[in-house]
Amino acid sequence: MIDLTWKVFSQTGNIETYLLMKELENEPSNRISGQTEQEETTMDTKL
């Protein structure tokens, strides 16, 4: 998920995306509960 937020931030420069990435980095599991690898891949391809 952090890779996705970094990709979006680096392409758009959106500060809110950067702040989201920093919040995710501080999460103990670095993963949104219940989200699977497949869902991450699906979201990545929609960009």
pLDDT at residue number 1:
80
Please give the DSSP secondary-structure letter assigned to residue 34. Answer: T
pLDDT at residue number 11:
95
Q: What is the pTM of this model?
A: 0.53
pLDDT at residue number 41:
55
Query: What pLDDT band is residue 43 in, cutting at 50, 70 and 90?
Result: low
Cβ neighbours of residue 9 closer than 8 Å, sequence gap 6 or more: 17, 18, 21
Encode pLDDT of 5-38 as tens digits. 999 999 999 999 999 999 999 987 645 555 555 5
Biggest CA-to-CA distance, the chain: 28
